[in-house]
């Protein structure tokens, strides 16, 4: 989104950061394997090569897969085994997955290859990096991962492109056969050898990629949620006293403290707030949607921090099955199970729904003359002839209702697969997919609150807002006019959403307040 991102990402110098993943996924940063990574890859490949002709069974090298793990594969067929694995597992269906998600999962798979625990050849790892650097994005489909044994179908579609098969998007986003795109970029298809097919598909990379992108989005959106709440407090003649630091110290959740501090800074020096402060103000306390904003948005912040820690653990992992150990063993394991990532993806969908819900309640207060403290019904220019923001709130309500449905956890479900060999799965990919839809909904809900709060503040004239709110409204007014007769609202909602996602709204406020949390 608006973060400063690196232009070159070295893979294999330590765990990737979420900023590096975002840089490759969204800004097409260049990737390169470190010297240490290349040495580790070569060392683990030597171990696999030594086992390639072994008569003893080694999963992924000389056996079938899943429930077929007890089927021995003759040495002459073991490279064909890897090609067959990719072709059969590239069985995705449904809508095409976004380019940024595919690039994120490819980078994360490359990161695991760079640990030297997977047994791939150096030529294969380098070729995978070149797909990213030439902006060749395999076509991946919505359905095909159960979030266990890896994000199998999505990763298989990526490996298929490495083989010169299947379809991809090229640098110009044109859909074309993989073989054509590779040739146009001067790249050669890879002929997979022992263990490599399995190493390319056995990881949590898709769900982890979606988690990392979601964390980046929420870092922006929760800051904007604080900002919108502050504008609503001003426009609804709320008090800033409830955001005092000593009150929030009584309940020392770190996210709540950060949100409260943001609200204090955003409301500083507001003539509107000052206009009803003092002994003449007869209201005892504001509604929960105003007063409790730091508890809700702050609780979301703490949940994101928990998700961030989980992502950091996963970024430090080498997820494959089997893995090549430093002492030369090739061992099966269960590290590919997506449960830890699936849980936090679901948790984030819950807090997204609740942050959107409280924002919609603040919007609704602006539109009800019984609760808006003197504003016209629906903020309409001529109520009755004009409907104002009546239906914009309907849009919010429809989105919030969907967000509540999307908050139902995916990770509590499991459908056994592979003839009961894989009898408990995480559904983490599905949790990531619904979280992405939820984040889009939150941005739209905040856009409506921003438009409504700005209109409510304008209608308080001759009172004027504080400098932070004024700066935000000035940016908004470049794309959406102030109060007046009814007009086509959909483009203004979309413009406000774009201003939020681009970071323009936050930057306008920070030009006054300094960096917000």
Residue ranges with strand state E in 316-471 = 323-324, 330-331
C-alpha distances out from residue 46 to 83, 119, 501, Å: 21, 8, 47
Q: Nearest to residue 347, comparing CAs of 315, 383, 301, 385?
A: 301
3-state secondary structure of 65: coil
**Residue 342 to residue 346: CA distance in whole angstroms:** 6
143 beta partners: 93
C-alpha distances out from residue 66 to 148, 149, 165, 423, Å: 11, 9, 24, 11
Tokens of residue 250, six digits:
């009584």
Between the CA atoms of 113, 118, 124 and 130, what dihedral angle is there, to the nearest 10 degrees?
Answer: -10
The answer to whether 143 is a known catalytic residue is no
Burial group, residue 93, by CB count within 10 angstroms (0-12, 13-18, 19+) = exposed
Edge-first strand listing for the sheet containing 167-169: 137-138, 167-169, 175-177
Q: Nearest to residue 235, comparing CAs of 271, 265, 260, 261?
A: 271
From the candidates 18, 59, 128, 394, give the one annotated as an active-site residue: 59
H/E stretch holding 142: strand 141-143
Catalytic residue list:
59
């Amino acid at each position: 989104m608006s973060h400063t991102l690196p232009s070159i990402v070295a893979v294999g110098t330590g765990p990737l950061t979420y900023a590096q993943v975002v840089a490759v996924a969204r800004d097409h940063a260049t990737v390169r394997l470190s010297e240490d990574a290349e040495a580790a890859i070569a060392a683990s490949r030597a171990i696999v090569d030594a086992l390639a002709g072994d008569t003893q069974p080694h999963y992924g090298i000389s056996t079938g897969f899943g429930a077929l793990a007890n089927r021995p594969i003759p040495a002459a067929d073991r490279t064909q085994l890897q090609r067959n694995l990719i072709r059969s597992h590239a069985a995705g269906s449904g809508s095409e997955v976004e380019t940024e998600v595919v690039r994120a999962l490819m980078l994360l798979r490359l990161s695991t290859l760079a640990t030297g625990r997977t047994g791939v050849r150096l030529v294969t790892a380098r070729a995978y990096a070149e797909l990213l650097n030439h902006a060749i994005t395999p076509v991946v489909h919505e359905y095909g991962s159960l979030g266990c044994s890896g994000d199998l179908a999505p990763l298989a579609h990526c490996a298929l492109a490495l083989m010169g098969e299947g379809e991809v998007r090229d640098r110009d986003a044109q859909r074309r056969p993989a073989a054509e795109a590779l040739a146009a970029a001067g790249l050669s298809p890879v002929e997979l050898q022992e263990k490599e097919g399995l190493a390319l598909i056995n990881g949590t990379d898709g769900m982890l990629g979606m988690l990392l992108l979601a964390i980046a989005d929420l870092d922006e959106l929760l800051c904007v949620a604080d900002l919108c709440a502050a504008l609503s407090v001003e426009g609804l003649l709320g008090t800033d006293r409830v955001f005092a630091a000593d009150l929030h110290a009584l309940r020392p959740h770190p996210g709540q403290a950060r949100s409260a501090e943001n609200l204090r800074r955003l409301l500083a020096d507001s003539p509107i707030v000052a206009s009803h402060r003092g002994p003449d103000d007869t209201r005892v306390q504001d509604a929960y949607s105003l007063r409790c904003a730091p508890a809700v948005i702050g609780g979301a912040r703490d949940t994101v921090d928990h998700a961030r820690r989980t992502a950091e653990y996963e970024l430090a992992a080498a997820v494959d099955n089997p893995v090549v150990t430093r002492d030369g063993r090739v061992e099966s394991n269960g590290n590919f199970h997506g449960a830890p990532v699936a849980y936090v993806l679901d948790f984030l969908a819950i807090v997204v729904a609740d942050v959107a819900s409280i924002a919609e309640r603040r919007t609704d207060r602006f539109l009800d003359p019984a609760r808006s403290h003197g504003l016209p019904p629906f903020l309409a220019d001529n109520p009755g002839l004009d409907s104002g923001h009546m239906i914009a709130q309907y849009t919010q309500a429809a989105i919030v209702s969907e967000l509540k449905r999307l908050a139902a956890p995916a990770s509590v479900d499991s459908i056994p697969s592979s003839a009961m060999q894989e009898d408990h799965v995480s559904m983490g990919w599905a949790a990531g997919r619904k979280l992405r839809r939820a984040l889009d909904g939150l941005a739209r809900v905040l856009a409506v609150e921003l438009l409504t709060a700005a209109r409510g503040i304008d209608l308080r004239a001759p009172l004027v807002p504080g400098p932070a709110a004024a700066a935000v409204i000035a940016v908004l007014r470049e794309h959406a006019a102030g109060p007046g007769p009814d007009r086509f609202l959909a483009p203004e909602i979309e413009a406000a959403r774009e201003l939020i996602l681009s970071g323009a709204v936050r930057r306008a406020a920070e030009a006054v307040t300094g960096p917000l949390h």
